[in-house]
Structure 1
Amino acid sequence: MKHLILLVTVVFSFSCSSPSHKKETADRDTTATKRITLLFAGDFMQHQRQIDAAATDNGYDYQDCFSQVKEEVSKADVAIGNLEVTLGGEPYGGYPGFSAPDEYMYAIQNAGFDVMTLANNHCLDKGRKGLERTIHKLDSLNIPHLGTYLNIEEREKKYPLIIEKKGFRIALLNYTYATNGLRVREPNVVNYIDKNEILRDIKRAHEKNPDVIIACMHWGTEYQSVPDSTQTELANWLFAHGVNHVIGSHPHVVQPMEMRYDHINGQQHILVYSLGNYLSDMSAMKTDGGVMFKMELCKDTTLRVEKCGYSLVWTSRPKHSGEKKYKIIPAVSPRQELPSRASNRLKIFVKDSRELFATHNKGIKEYIF
């Protein structure tokens, strides 16, 4: 596993160079350039059929699920995913009350993921026990996480989350629109989308002098391929109040992404409305895959996004593949020959996604690994 330095009480400001910054080359040549690659993946889910498929005589085994993406994930300096299940212990179960076996988290970590966001609409599926056990399990594995907390004191100490690596300080924020009608009960804390609270968190983040602030937002309308007005308004508000990049999840389908450049203050802003599903048993059209989004930050005399792009991933299901296990497949370059039924579904997902992005993306292209 990649080693991270985790500091408590987080956040940062991020300035970026102009899209045309050749004139600065001479200045940067005198300063050592630092680089860091961040990778974001969408919803990590565990429906009942996934749990059943992972069952063995001695427990559960999810390693095959990530075998075709592990190399790409592990290459990133920091890989971040949305854990949209609890690790609530037995009895395990899928929708509507997710509780995944601990082996699921072991496989996620082994695949190269470093940080988990927890503020989502399923974080209270197993009540206080589920929320607290999830936190304790991640702590036992030394996996930084954010979005839910044992109590307010823990939140004050550990949030915003700062990841320090390769000479960068990355500040992470995480909020959810709701928790499926379930109420968080004291002393536990869930980060809900509340502008007053977010403003306080952004201020605390800036006080810690991070290089960049990234907000991971659980928002939007399920199964809708274009962002709703709430998402667009909130994204604009976050950028206006000091967040540098916004990465979204929840709709269970991919949504467009943008690279913005603010000519007034010289800042770049990446906006990904929805990463889609990373691993799930959802099989309706457009819900059976997602993207991994990758950005490379560079720092010398300026701090900027040097590269960014998305790569399509698709979940191969036993129903279509004839195999026992679920697998995340690089959608454009599968590492195995798929049966026609699976191959046809994959091609539909790629076609739909590319058509959406060709119409709506701004400045962000596909990369193939």
Structure 2
Amino acid sequence: MKCGCLLLGCILWHAAPAQTVDLLFAGDLMQHQAQIDAARTATGYNYDSCFTLVKPEIEKADLAVANLEVTLAGKPYKGYPQFSAPDEYLKAVKDAGFDVLVTANNHCLDGGKKGLARTISMLDSLRIPFAGTYRDAAERSRRYPLLVEQNGLRIVFLNYTYGTNGLKVSPPQVVNYIDTLQIRKDIQAARRLRPDAIIALMHWGLEYKSQPEASTRQLARWLIREGVDHIIGSHPHVVQPIEVWEDEKDRSRRHLVVYSLGNYISNMSKSGTDGGLMVRLQLTKKGETTRLSDCAYSLVWVSRPVLSGKSQYRLYPAANPPQDLTPAEQTRLHTFVGESRRLFEKYNRGIKEYVF
């Protein structure tokens, strides 16, 4: 469902034919041990039912992007604190409709040197473009910044993490850490690719906090001033406010800033961690000018077997769930939706919720 541009008071161009691309961003794709156990079958692992109710919405987007917060390090498969997900999980993520994944997060070194390299090999084997981690500097130079062309628009994706849980990257491998000197160089390199938009996906902030800290806000301002057009954040495992900023120099330009998408699918049950966001961002290009023409968010919620009595984890549209929820599911879902909406009603700027 596409939201109307009245949400932003956006400017419409009438002269030339427009080119439009619809992007969708989802939060943390996790695999805790209980999820791995629930997906186990006699012949392997099956995650198909996890995404059934959200797959049509993911597939609507021209480009769907998410944070892959696990490694594909191979057996033994394990969950927290050092994730190694079954290969079938990545296949299910692709089958659900995700087109681009980002890998620079605090769990990207969980599988060590082998895990980082094998994750890249698995992404390549499924032809999933990615950004954030690399086997060496030469590979990073070839593949980063990540440029994706869609519907006549050139979109550059940048991706950085605040850290890797104290684990150190093994040379010659590269992890994109938040380093403003390097980020400035990367933004300059991105500009040389002649993009219509630069989107930074930042793994930042404090876990379980419903508001971004001052340093996160400062970094967001710096990124926009340096030339990033839109910012999508992850890591806190709970949703945080969303803002649409007016450009300081050009009032016709708008910047979408999502501080935290929250979890997408996980086994986390602490208050606020059992759901997250899907954020839609529409870019429209006329002539040489590209603008944010639409944006909206939708809440998603994860039902766990302990609540549903079913064998598998399932992602639900939180505002339009199935009718057969158990009382336990209804209670948890309503709590998540109520808390999220109260937060957004107070702090969001320039964006509305949509229901699918």
TM norm structure 1: 0.93
- Which position in structure 1 is the counterpart of 2:135? 150
Distance 1:326 1:37 in 2: 28
Query: Would the aligned equivalents of 1:68 and 1:335 in 2 still touch at CA under 8 Å?
Result: no
**Alignment-derived partner of residue 145 in structure 2:** 160
Whether contact under 8 Å (1:314, 1:346) holds in the other structure is yes
Aligned equivalent of 1:83:
68
- State the percentage of identical aligned residues: 55
Aligned positions of 1:300-319 closer than 5 A? 300-301=286-287, 302-319=289-306
Aligned partner letter, 2:267: D
Q: Whole-Å Cα distance in 1 between the matches of residues 47 and 181 of structure 2?
A: 40
Paired residues for 1:99-178 under 5 Å = 99-178=84-163
In the alignment, which of 323, 328, 343 is matched to residue 330 of structure 2? 343
**Aligned match for 2:277, one of 284, 291, 312:** 291
The residue number in structure 1 matching 2:11 is 21
- Aligned AA for 2:142? K
1:215-269: CA deviations, max 9, x gaps? 0000000000000112101000000100000000000000000011125224211
Is the partner of 2:172 in helix, strand or coil?
A: coil
SS at match of 1:56: coil
1:334 matches 2:300:
no
**Aligned equivalents of 1:239, 1:97: Cα separation in 2:** 33
Amino acid at match of 1:210: P
Q: Is the 8 A contact 1:171 1:214 kept in 2?
A: yes
Cα shift at 1:20: 5.0
Partners of 1:230 and 1:186 lie apart in 2 by 29
User: Are 1:223 and 2:213 matched, yes or no?
Assistant: no
Contact 2:10 2:293 in 1 (8 A): no
Q: Deviations over 1:25-58 (max 9, x none)?
A: 3x2xxx2211110000000000000000000000
Aligned to 1:277: 263
Q: Can you list the C-alpha shifts for 1:119-171, whole angstroms capped at 9, x where unaligned?
A: 00000001001000000000000000010000000000000000001100000
AA partner of residue 194 (structure 1): D
Whole-angstrom CA distance in 2 between matches of 1:263 and 1:129: 45
Q: Secondary structure at the match of 2:88?
A: helix
Q: Whole-Å Cα distance in 1 between the matches of residues 325 and 216 of structure 2?
A: 37
Equivalence for 1:32 = 17
User: 1:309 is matched by which residue type in structure 2?
Assistant: A
Residues 178 and 339 of structure 1: CA distance in aligned 2, closer, same or farther (over 3 Å): same
Q: Write the distance in 1 (CA, Å) between the matches of 2:78 and 2:68.
A: 15
Q: Are 2:8 and 1:48 aligned?
A: no
Residues paired across the two proteins, number:
347
CA distance in 2, matches of 1:102, 1:108: 10
Deviation at 1:300, TM superposition (A): 1.1
| Unaligned stretches of 5+ residues in structure 2 | 1-7
Deviation at 1:21, TM superposition (A): 2.6
- 1:368: how far off? 0.5
Letter in 2 for 1:254: V
1:303-353 C-alpha deviation (Å, 9 max, x unpaired)? 111110100000000011110100111001013420011011000000000
Residue type matched to 1:51 in 2? Answer: I
RMSD: 1.0
1:358 aligns to 2:345 (yes or no): yes
8 A Cα contact 2:207 2:238, kept in partner? yes
Cα displacement string for residues 53-96 of structure 1 (whole angstroms, at most 9, x for unaligned residues): 00000000001000000000001000001000000000000000
Residue 190 of structure 2, aligned match among 205, 208, 220: 205
Quick one: distance in 2 between partners of 1:19 and 1:286? 31
Task: Name the CA distance, whole Å, in 1 between partners of 2:169 and 2:190.
Answer: 24
Deviation of residue 354 (structure 1)?
0.2
SS of residue matched to 1:201: helix
Q: What is the SS of the residue equivalent to 1:59?
A: coil
